[in-house]
Amino acid sequence: MDIKYIRQPNGYTCGSTALYIACQAKGIKTPELLDLADQMGTNPRTGTTDIEMSRGLEIVGLPVLRYAILDGQQESSCSSKLFRNGNKQEAFKALSESVAGDGLFLLRTLMYGIPHWVLAYEMKDNHIFYMCSCSGIGRLDADALYEIWEPRSFDGFRIQ
């Protein structure tokens, strides 16, 4: 899979841009980036919430496979139990397995104190690699992943 850097067009479209990058990598036809963001409901006040991301996945014809821990209870359209207790190593292992092969994961994070979506796409040398629509390629070990993902309740969407 060829993951290409695409810069988000403004300060609030990281989620729709992450989905757009995923679709480009998988060869999925999408509306133009800003049209996709508009159709998803991405906006300057809330950016891309889980609701808008679910809508975006439906727009491009992908299943909505959400993972999250909300109020201590796991919510997921998948049967994964790896996120239940918020354990650092289990979260890292689960995300690693999600990006194995040609899997992708839309990761809802808190980076530098700012809510932000990135696209996790590969596990290599005990690091998870991601594409950020602001800064390009990044990598996370288990500690770094936990630091940015735990504040967002391990929320995200798997793309198979």
Q: Residue 112: its pLDDT value, please?
A: 87
Enter the tokens of residue 23: 């679709």
Angle at 76 between CA 132 and CA 62, to 5 degrees: 60
Q: Where are the domains of the chain?
A: 14-159
Q: Residue 91: its pLDDT value, please?
A: 85
14-159 has which CATH code?
Answer: 3.90.70.10
Long-range contacts from 65-71, C-beta under 8 angstroms, 24+ separation: 65/157, 65/158, 65/159, 65/160, 66/155, 66/156, 66/157, 67/94, 67/154, 67/155, 67/156, 67/157, 67/158, 68/153, 68/154, 68/155, 68/156, 69/153, 69/154, 69/155, 70/153, 70/155
Q: Residue 160: its pLDDT value, please?
A: 85
Please indicate, yes or no, whether the overall pTM of this predicted structure exceeds 0.75: yes
Q: Residue 3: its pLDDT value, please?
A: 97
Query: What span, in angstroms and rounded, lies between the C-alpha atoms of 122 and 41?
Result: 28
Predicted confidence pLDDT, tens digits, the chain (160 residues) = 899 999 999 999 999 999 999 999 999 999 999 999 999 999 999 999 999 999 999 999 999 998 877 555 555 444 343 455 567 888 888 899 999 989 999 999 999 899 999 999 999 999 999 999 999 999 999 999 999 999 998 899 999 8
Radius of gyration of the chain (CA): 14
